[in-house]
Amino acid sequence: MPVFIVKLWKHRYYSYALLKNELKGRYTRSYLGILWLIIQPLIQVAVYAFIFSTVFLARLPGMSQTPGAYAIYLLAGIAAWTLLSEIITRNTTVFTRHANLIKKYPVPKISLFIAATGEALFNNLILLILVIILSLILNPLFQVSTLIYLLPVFFLIVLLAFSLGVLLATLNVFIRDIEQAVSVVLQLLFWLTPIVYTLNVLPEKYQILIHLNPASAFAGAYQNIFVYNHAPDWNALLYPLLLSLLIIMIVNIIYNKAKHELVDVL
């Protein structure tokens, strides 16, 4: 970890330049620009809220007197899920997307991952601001002071997603099916995460599948903060933390063995 921090600091200007170009390229010639980051989740939430809240009469335990609680519950879960999935997705394709650059120049690999992660963080920050604003408007229980709990959860999501993204990016160079597999697995994991439903609606025998999904702990933490205005379940977050540390050790082994062959295989 200290070596990683040293490299991060050493290549900070290059990482910033890459991130700036990524963001500029994404929003160039777009009339709405970053507004798409708000429009897309709002439409998604509106659809889910109508189907599950109106058609299936979904209600949150203890929140029957708060009409906007279910929308906040959805948005909070989507914010946590989007941060996790976008960092993983963007980092998985880092080497293949920048293959030409890596072959021509001695590019610091860490900068590619930092730029991809930074873009995901920027996008998620816009969505997070929207969640905060809507929570203040729609949820009388919500208090800004509770956001202090968000910081360790946010860091843990980034840690797990980043480490997993580096691992998958390395494997994706040698096994190109990884990129497609990640997309399929993330779709499956979304529905194994209590975002559009609550955990208590599932039979107890199936709840173990939800607990095995680390994204469930993240979504639950966000929902506790924005909907119920209290601290996350720290015990539930212990599993993603241990998983992150395990993946970091695996990445350290696999990447060090594969880094000398990466350019040749690309």
Is residue 153 in some structural domain? yes
Is residue 53 in some structural domain? no
φ, ψ at 193 (rounded to 5°): -115, 130
pLDDT at res. 152: 96
How many percent of the chain have pLDDT more than 70? Answer: 81
Is residue 237 in some structural domain? yes
Structure token pair of residue 185: 């697995």
The region that residue 231 occupies, defined by phi over 0 for left and psi between -120 and 50 for alpha, beta otherwise, is beta
Higher pLDDT, 42 or 192: 192
The string of pLDDT tens digits covering residues 170-202 is: 999 999 899 999 999 999 999 999 998 888 888
Look up residue 147 and give its DSSP letter.
Answer: G
pLDDT at res. 232: 95
Is residue 55 in some structural domain? no
Q: Taking all residues of the chain, what is their mean pLDDT, rounded to a whole number?
A: 84
* Rounded Cα–Cα distance for residues 198 and 59 (Å): 9
pLDDT at res. 225: 95
pLDDT at res. 130: 86
pLDDT at res. 91: 95
Is residue 34 in some structural domain? no
For 80, 193, 198, 207, 209, the CA distances from 203, given in Å and listed in that order, are 24, 15, 11, 7, 11
- Which of 30-44, 137-151, 156-170, 205-219 reaches the highest mean pLDDT? 156-170
pLDDT band at 64 (very low <50, low <70, confident <90, very high): low
Domain extent, residue 166, equals 2-20+67-265
For 37, 72, 212, 218, 244, the CA distances from 165, given in Å and listed in that order, are 22, 28, 19, 17, 11
Is residue 27 in some structural domain? no
* 262 burial level (CB within 10 Å; 0-12, 13-18, 19+): middle
Structure token pair of residue 58: 């979904």
Say how many domains are in the chain: 1
State pTM to two decimals. Answer: 0.87
pLDDT band at 238 (very low <50, low <70, confident <90, very high): very high
Check pLDDT > 60 for residue 2: no
Give the mean pLDDT of 88-110: 86
Check pLDDT > 60 for residue 157: yes
Contacts of 120 (CB under 8 A, 6+ apart): 83, 86, 87, 90
Residue type, 212: L
Give the mean pLDDT of 132-151: 90
Is residue 208 in some structural domain? yes
Check pLDDT > 70 for residue 55: no
Task: Cite the DSSP H helix spans in the chain.
Answer: 2-10, 12-27, 36-48, 69-92, 94-97, 99-104, 109-138, 150-174, 177-191, 207-212, 214-226, 234-258, 262-265
Give the mean pLDDT of 12-37: 66
How many percent of the chain have pLDDT more than 90? Answer: 45
The string of pLDDT tens digits covering residues 207-223 is: 888 999 999 999 999 99
The string of pLDDT tens digits covering residues 106-123 is: 778 888 899 899 988 988
**Which one, of 118, 130, 41, lies nearest residue 87 by Cα?**
118
Is residue 222 in some structural domain? yes
Please answer whether residues 173 and 96 qualify as being in contact, where contact means their C-beta atoms are separated by less than 8 angstroms: yes
**Length of the chain counted residue by residue:** 266
The string of pLDDT tens digits covering residues 239-254 is: 999 999 999 999 999 9
* Rounded Cα–Cα distance for residues 146 and 149 (Å): 6
The string of pLDDT tens digits covering residues 71-91 is: 889 889 999 999 999 999 999
pLDDT at res. 30: 61
